[in-house]
């Protein structure tokens, strides 16, 4: 990302308080003094750029979902295991960013620039206002809508929530304006025409499916309107000819390489990406993200991957008791490009990596986005995909499947392009609908109709393609599938105590001993036939002093947590307004059972 550090000076001019009731702009320079040239507008607009980084994408992105176990304090996990209320769920009700955006939109009217320049920067402001409100709608549904800077005497300062339908219409208006007036290209890391259209497609799919599957909104009659917008916007992106999937003809490597590039400039799949450059002081440490991990992939995610020939892993007799090495045999090639597979060579070493076990974790490790070099200059400087063309393809497929207009040709031009990149067998619409996967159907019982089978497979494809990139939570929310979060994530299966091979070479690497035994010291530890000392783990129940928790004490899946999780619907699809704010403004009332 092209960071222009001078923008901090501008943000100092515009007070950035998050207090909802204190929205009066204070400037050390007036709008007339500063907002004159295009350079001024550009400088301020840099301060509005906000992309997720490596940690937020690969580590915390899917935390708290059925894709990953985590020891972190994740809000939804705390809600399901605690006593949530408007007194202790207080984050998110922050309006300082909106104030800065609206201030910019008002100030730029005084700039001495051409109409084209003014409309371009107005489009930037409206894009960011749209994305601000997308986040607020996802979190609260109905929220007060403001398209101006408020002062302390403004009556709207104390108004109540505006209806979701009205706020969403405003979001779409802003995205439409942005898509029509933004330039096609711009400085690296900034928004452009195609970013706006892609965001329109993304949010239209979100809102369309959310309205379809959430009866509490009473907006289902307008769901198809948004699904059609998603189709139109994704079609526009595809027909532009500006993007295509990244591939070099190496199906066992291309997908992984997409997330391991020092520079994504010129990558045909990138609609938006965050740029890092260690030498210029723009880096983010991710080297310890695999070993000293606070989240680990779930076994449910592992089981979601198909076999390489397109058949279902969950149709295999006894799939629940297959062990780690067996689980990776003949699977979708993306599985070994997302997760550390048997035989994975850890960067900087020359021997196969032995999966590290630990209590509260699953045993599976992530290699997606993980650097192939341990050199800080490389490891910290990898760029991060933000919006990929792959998402546009899946938006089109899902929206058409929901509308009932999907054809095999549509699948061949979307889902099957993703599968072809990794050498997977194509998805056949007729076969999927005729032979519905019950493992998936049990997860999404609300899916019905003649396209049930293919829609379930598109959902699977989305889960796999974007695994651990931060998409899963929003997907579960819009599909009304929050109940899946009640299941505590589990990990690798061990049929009993004893020695196990985790590298796939047939030689044991670890040993599980009972909770009553002691791990031997030094030379007393057993050595395998390669002369390598076995890694010892004490296995047992959650109430025992052990290093690995197994569901049956001495055998079964590894456990990460046993605290009961309860997802309360529809309440937990939304968040309460912090109680302090409702006391300051009685017109703000709680909804969906929050108090």
| Res 573: pLDDT | 98
- Please count the residues of the chain: 595
Taking a C-beta distance cutoff of 8 angstroms, is the pair 367, 257 a contact? no
Alpha carbon distance 584, 578 (integer Å) = 10
Q: What is the pLDDT along the chain (595 residues), one digit of tens a residue?
A: 333 333 333 443 443 333 333 333 444 456 666 888 999 999 999 999 988 877 778 777 898 899 999 988 899 999 999 999 999 999 999 999 999 999 999 999 999 999 999 999 999 999 999 999 999 999 999 999 999 999 888 999 999 999 999 999 999 999 999 999 999 998 888 999 999 999 999 999 999 999 999 999 999 999 999 999 999 999 999 999 999 999 999 999 999 999 998 899 999 999 999 988 777 767 666 666 665 567 799 999 999 999 999 999 999 999 999 999 999 999 999 999 999 999 999 888 888 999 989 888 999 999 998 887 777 667 778 899 999 999 999 999 999 999 999 999 999 999 999 999 999 999 999 999 999 999 999 999 999 999 999 999 999 999 999 999 999 999 999 999 999 999 999 999 999 999 999 999 999 999 999 999 999 999 999 999 999 999 999 999 998 999 999 999 999 999 999 999 999 999 999 999 999 999 999 999 999 999 9
Side-chain-side CA neighbours of 46 within 13 Å: the count stands at: 18
Closest CA to 167 of 214, 219, 120, 122: 219
Sign of CA dihedral 286, 289, 295, 297: positive
Alpha carbon distance 483, 213 (integer Å) = 14
| Res 286: pLDDT | 65
CA angle (383, 74, 582) in 5-degree steps: 110
Q: At what angle do helices 452-465 and 389-403 cross, to 10 degrees?
A: 160
| Res 32: pLDDT | 62
């Amino acid at each position: 990302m092209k960071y222009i550090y001078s923008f901090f000076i501008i943000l100092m001019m515009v007070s950035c308080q998050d207090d909802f009731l204190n929205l009066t702009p204070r400037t050390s320079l007036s709008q007339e003094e500063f907002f004159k040239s295009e350079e001024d507008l550009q400088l301020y607009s840099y301060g509005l750029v906000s992309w997720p980084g490596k940690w937020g994408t690969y580590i915390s992105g899917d935390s708290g979902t059925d894709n990953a176990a985590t020891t972190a304090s994740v809000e939804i996990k705390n809600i399901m295991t605690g006593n949530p209320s408007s007194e202790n769920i207080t984050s998110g009700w922050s309006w300082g960013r909106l104030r800065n955006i609206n201030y910019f939109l008002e100030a730029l009217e005084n700039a001495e620039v051409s109409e084209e320049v003014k409309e371009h920067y107005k489009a930037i402001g409206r894009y960011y206002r749209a994305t601000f409100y997308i986040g607020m709608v996802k979190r609260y549904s109905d929220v007060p809508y403001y398209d101006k800077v408020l002062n302390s005497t403004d009556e709207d300062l104390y108004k109540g929530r505006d209806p979701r339908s009205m706020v969403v219409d405003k979001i779409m208006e802003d995205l439409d304006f942005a898509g029509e007036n933004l330039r096609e290209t711009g400085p690296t890391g900034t928004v452009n025409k195609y970013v706006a259209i892609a965001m329109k497609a993304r949010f239209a799919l979100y809102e369309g499916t959310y309205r379809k599957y959430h009866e509490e909104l009473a907006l289902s009659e307008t769901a198809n309107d948004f699904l059609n917008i998603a189709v139109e916007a994704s079609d526009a992106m595809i027909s532009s000819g500006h993007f295509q999937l990244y591939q070099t003809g190496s199906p066992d490597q291309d997908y992984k390489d997409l997330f391991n590039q020092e520079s994504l400039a010129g990558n045909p799949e990138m609609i938006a990406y965050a740029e890092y450059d260690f030498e210029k002081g723009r880096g983010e440490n991710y080297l310890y993200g695999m070993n000293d991990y606070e989240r680990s992939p779930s076994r449910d995610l592992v089981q979601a991957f198909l076999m390489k020939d397109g058949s279902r892993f969950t149709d295999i007799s006894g799939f629940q008791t297959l062990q780690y090495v067996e689980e990776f045999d003949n699977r979708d090639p993306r599985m070994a490009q997302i997760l550390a597979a048997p035989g994975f060579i850890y960067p900087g070493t020359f021997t196969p990596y032995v999966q590290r076990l630990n209590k509260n974790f699953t045993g599976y490790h992530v290699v997606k986005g993980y650097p192939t070099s341990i050199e800080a200059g490389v490891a910290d400087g990898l760029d991060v995909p933000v919006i990929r063309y792959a998402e546009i393809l899946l938006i089109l497929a899902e929206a058409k499947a929901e509308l009932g207009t999907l054809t095999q040709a549509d699948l061949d031009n979307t889902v099957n392009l993703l599968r072809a990149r990794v050498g997977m067998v194509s998805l056949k619409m007729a076969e999927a609908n005729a032979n519905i996967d019950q493992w998936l159907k049990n997860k999404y019982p609300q899916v019905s109709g003649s396209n049930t089978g293919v829609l379930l497979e598109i959902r699977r494809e989305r889960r796999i393609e974007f695994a651990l990139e931060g998409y899963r939570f929003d997907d579960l929310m819009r599909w009304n599938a929050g109940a899946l979060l009640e299941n505590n994530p589990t990990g690798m299966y061990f049929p009993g105590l004893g020695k196990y091979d985790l590298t796939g070479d047939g030689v044991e690497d670890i040993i599980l001993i009972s909770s009553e035994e002691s791990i031997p010291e030094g030379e007393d530890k057993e050595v395998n036939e390669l002369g390598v000392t076995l890694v010892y783990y004490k296995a047992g129940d959650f109430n025992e002093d052990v290093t690995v928790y197994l569901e049956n004490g001495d055998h079964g899946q590894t456990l990460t947590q046993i605290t009961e999780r309860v997802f309360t619907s529809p309440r937990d699809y939304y968040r309460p307004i912090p109680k302090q704010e409702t006391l300051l403004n009685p017109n703000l009332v709680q909804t969906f059972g929050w108090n």
